[in-house]
Amino acid sequence: MNSFRFSSFWASICAAIMGLLGFSCSNDEDMALMYGTPIADFEIKGVVFTEKGNKPVPDAVIKVMEVPVPDPYFPEEDITDREVTYFRTATDNQGCYSATEGLLPVGIVKVVCVPPEINLQSDTVLIRLEFVEDGNNNNPWYYGKATAEVNFSLKEKPVER
């Protein structure tokens, strides 16, 4: 029983010394880099109009989505159910849209335009976002802001006979 108390005493002393060494080896400046989630801002804007007649398309739904990447461990898995929509907006009466959002910094996004009229075809564009630091943010996880302009010229659906 005495040896148990003696060993637990030394274990407590060793634990206290290791704890003090751990605190003395830390650097407060690097602690901010240890944990966090990368963030970025982006703005995507543009105009939606008809290919025939260049008329604006009001109330078209614009979705900015993640481009799904196949899983290297399960290549046969269907990746279409893993699509993530970052934001959704609609065009105004002049066919214009604009959205500013914050998100994880991704390189390529898919911009989808779904017209409200059934005689027009939907359209999809892949764009690469280039993030530029603005220098106003002290967050080490902030990647900056990306801006892009995506205009859609929607085609009419072919007439089925």
pLDDT tens by residue, the chain, 161 residues: 555 566 777 888 888 887 777 665 555 554 444 566 788 888 999 999 999 888 999 999 999 988 877 767 776 766 666 677 888 999 999 999 998 888 777 788 899 999 998 899 999 999 998 888 877 677 778 888 899 999 999 999 887 76
Q: Which residues fall within 8 angstroms of residue 81, CB to CB, at 6 or more apart? A: none
32-154: CATH topology is Immunoglobulin-like (2.60.40)
108: number of Cβ within 10 Å? 11
DSSP 94: T
CA distance 32 to 116: 47
**Domain residue ranges of the chain, discontinuous segments joined by +:** 2-31, 32-154
CA distance 107 to 126: 10
Contact 47, 151 (CB under 8 A): yes
Burial of 138: CB neighbours in 10 Å, binned 0-12, 13-18, 19+:
exposed
- pTM for this predicted structure: 0.68
pLDDT of residue 95: 95
pLDDT of residue 80: 61
- Counting every residue, how long is the chain? 161
